Amino acid sequence: MKLSGVVVICLACGLIGGCREDARTAADQRFDKELVRTLNNIGVENAILAQHTLYPYHFVPNGDRLNSLGQRDFAVLARHFTEHPGLLNVRQGADVSSELYQARVAYVTSRLQEAGIEPQRVRISDGEPGGPGLPAEHVVTVLQRTTETSTRPSSRGTITK
């Protein structure tokens, strides 16, 4: 009889505690959502800065103006360039004429100036995102080593892949 009474008391406490928890859950959920949103935004902004690149899909199709995604990414980059000099890649892409590409570069340059960023602080190029990458010889060496280790016979005499 004593055990069942203890169980009833524990269940009652759990229910009461659960009710109190539900009362603050709405505020906690709002806080959690805002925290996740903030962390996600920081991650997205860090990725934009790491790439420091505007692609053809950042522009209105067949136009020199930025679309909404391009405007968001440009705003992140412009905020960064107000404090730090750097490189901004504006990728031409295979289907973009040189005239349209030059118009896009001119538009981006004017937007940087409108943001109060001195032209000498930002170098614009058609470079790869994130920097120059690895030299081709190094990539070939890494690929060869990877291939050699993945096809090396195992201790059982079979080839591993």
Residue-wise pLDDT for 66-118, tens only, equals 999 999 999 999 999 999 999 999 999 999 999 999 999 999 999 999 999 99
Alpha carbons 66 and 81: distance in angstroms, whole number: 18
Is pLDDT above 80 for 139? no
Residue-wise pLDDT for 146-157, tens only, equals 566 555 554 455
Q: pLDDT value at position 18?
A: 53
Q: Which residue has the higher pLDDT, 16 or 92?
A: 92
Amino acid at 134: L
Q: pLDDT value at position 123?
A: 94
For residues 41-58, average pLDDT:
90
Q: Which residue has the higher pLDDT, 53 or 148?
A: 53
| 3-class SS of residue 89 | strand
Out of 3.30.1330, 1.10.3210, 3.90.550, 1.10.1740, the CATH code matching 43-132 is 3.30.1330
Report residue 8 CA to chain centroid gap: 51
Indicate the average pLDDT of the chain. 78
Q: Which residue has the higher pLDDT, 36 or 92?
A: 92
Tokens describing residue 9: 């008391």
Asked whether 73 and 48 are in contact (CB, 8 A), the reply is yes
Q: pLDDT value at position 43?
A: 82
